[in-house]
Structure 1
Amino acid sequence: MIELQDFRAARRAISDHMRLTPVYAASNFADNMAFGSAKRIPELFLKLENMQVTGSFKARGAMNAALALDDAKRSMGLCTASGGNHGMGVIHAARTLGVPVKIFLPTNTPKPKIEKLRAQGVDVALIGAVWDDANRAAMDHARESGMAYIHPFADPRVIAGQGTIALELLEQQPDLDTLVVAIGGGGLISGVATAARLLRPSIRVIGVEPTGAATLFESLKANEVVTLPSVNTAATSLAPRQSSALNVDLIGKNVDRIALVSDEEMQKAANWLWKDLGIAVELSAAAGIAAIMTDRLGVNDPGRVGVIICGTGTDGIK
């Protein structure tokens, strides 16, 4: 069980190494043309984690997990498997602590992310077709080398770090009725939903996955961890074939429903964020806006809606 005190402790631990990202009121820029299939354009408040250090919320969880290690384990260095953003977060943590780092990436990682990671001058290995393959290699390396392995989503310390977003957001915009959160492995929504519900039990939380990687959607439907036979989405940071029992449990308890959106719908949402708001995001970070544009939240009146814009990039812009 992750308690409110764990989220507050994580916030204290990482605050010197993170940015307090802004919340942007976007409703005035939402028009009927862009949001044509929505019954009603809600009041939108965007939590801009694309402005976080390393360009993504992932820095929060990686830093909290790294700071929790004892000195002996930490000195051996950090390693992980990533679709890109978590890798940057682990690199940031390793550099802050002054320890070695190794990052494993699947071959479906977008080329700009590979180049961004390699430009950091750290050890980067491309292994496996999807994240799950790279993750097995990273865990093997951690066992063999003694490095500390930092899981991108199935670690209570990582989840607590990601949940600090909810603490900030509900202070910055305390009257939100609904939170909309993109889902990859489930670390972000596990932390945000759990922390938000502990602070305000009545708040509605809706997750969003790609139709080509409905990992948590299928797991919640089956009430167990489901391994997808394959994934098919350009939003590769939302595309593990399998989550974990920890994430399935937390999401099942704290998330109202999961909406599914297509790559084309995420592309349209990313274009709107760029052309109307000047916010450049990776495809994955537009998932929440895509669900709102296509009226997939599943409620007649979502009220005041907070959307986490989880990562910067240009692959969402056409």
Structure 2
Amino acid sequence: MITLDDVRAAAAQIAPLVRRTPSMAAEPAQLPLAAGARVSLKLECLQVSGSFKARGAFSRLTLLGPDARQRGLVTASGGNHGIAVAYAAHAAGLAATVVVPTGVHSDKAARIRAYGATLILEGAVWDEANARARAIAEETGAAYVHPFADPAVAAGQGTIALEVLADDPEIDTLLVAIGGGGLIAGVAAAAAALKPDIRIVGVEPTGAPTLHDSLAAGEVVTLASVTTRVPTLAARRTERTNFELIRRHVRDVVLVEDEDLAHAARHLWAEYGIAADLSGAASAAALLAGAYRPKPGERICAIVCGAGADALAS
């Protein structure tokens, strides 16, 4: 289980390789249903590779020895993690193979290829793509980079919390998108250690309530099916290490519809010029759809975790 020290160590390792992204106030064009609260947006959509995933990819890469690097990297992704691993491998001069579900957004697939990675389409959901990626790692000896169950990756994602609370130590609530749970696990580990009374709220699509259902059951569950159309938020199962951190530190997990994600992405573009992908818009969707209703005066940071044109072309 990762600690604040792990997150701080990751921050030191990746500092030369990633951007310290800005936070901006969601004012004067305040998010509807958040009236009376003070909302800021953490713009991880401005991160290298286009999402927070670069933090975790570089955190893992910096720990690989020369032999492992020579064999290259392999991963499975709904899109953003694959782009980040391809980007990190390109920056380090390494080979990379990225396996994605067949429903991956074409722009994300193109970016993976643009960084020189080998792209493989496999399965309808991330779990099926992941089985293929693990088989490739076994066959080739390439270093497998898990998008959310690797402690080094989660520690890299947790560095976001260090920046958020450095920018505004008075933040009451963090709104965080959940796919497999690596982002919220890392953020929760760091934020709760720095500020024990902080409220951390996860956001999932109703078509992939992985953590929502696991927390309700008191144990990790595997979803019978995934119906969300957002591959980056479509894991059928989280990992126990993430689940334990989330159960300990996350106050609630709220659910939004795919249409809410699309509406939030369009709102972020129209009001702020922020081109968020559907997963990146999840935290704003929780406010816009009323899934999370803040109290008057509450200071909220919504993490805009990824960039993309998923909703803008529709």
Cα deviation digits, residues 46-98 of structure 1 (max 9, x gap): 01000000000000001101111122112211110011110111112212322
Q: Contact 1:27–1:42 (CA<8 Å) still a contact in 2?
A: no
Of residues 177, 181, 187 in structure 2, which corresponds to 1:182? 177
Partner of 2:7: 7
* Cα distance in 2, alignment partners of residues 133 and 302 from structure 1: 44
Partner of 1:142: 137
Residue segments in structure 2 that go unaligned for 5+ positions in a row: none
* Cα distance in 1, alignment partners of residues 113 and 260 from structure 2: 31
Cα deviation digits, residues 1-57 of structure 1 (max 9, x gap): 2121111100000000000101111131126xxx2xx27342111010000000000
Of residues 195, 202, 206 in structure 1, which corresponds to 2:201? 206
2:252 is the counterpart of 1:240: no
Q: Contact 2:83–2:108 (CA<8 Å) still a contact in 1?
A: no
Partner of 2:250: 255
Residue segments in structure 1 that go unaligned for 5+ positions in a row: none
Partner of 2:156: 161
1:233 Cα deviation after fit: 1.5
5 Å-filtered alignment, 1:127-138, equals 127-138=122-133
Of residues 72, 82, 86 in structure 2, which corresponds to 1:87? 82
Q: TM-score, normalised by structure 2?
A: 0.96
1:243 Cα deviation after fit: 1.1
Q: Secondary structure at the match of 1:180?
A: strand
Partner of 1:272: 267
Partner of 1:29: 29
Q: TM-score, normalised by structure 1?
A: 0.95
Q: Secondary structure at the match of 2:279?
A: helix
**CA RMSD, Structure 1 to Structure 2 (Å):** 1.4
Q: Secondary structure at the match of 2:280?
A: helix
How many corresponding residue pairs?
Answer: 313
* Cα distance in 2, alignment partners of residues 169 and 144 from structure 1: 41
Output the amino acid matched with 1:5: D
Q: Percent identity?
A: 49
Q: Contact 2:34–2:294 (CA<8 Å) still a contact in 1?
A: no
Partner of 1:17: 17
Structure 1 stretch displaced more, 227-236 or 258-267: 227-236
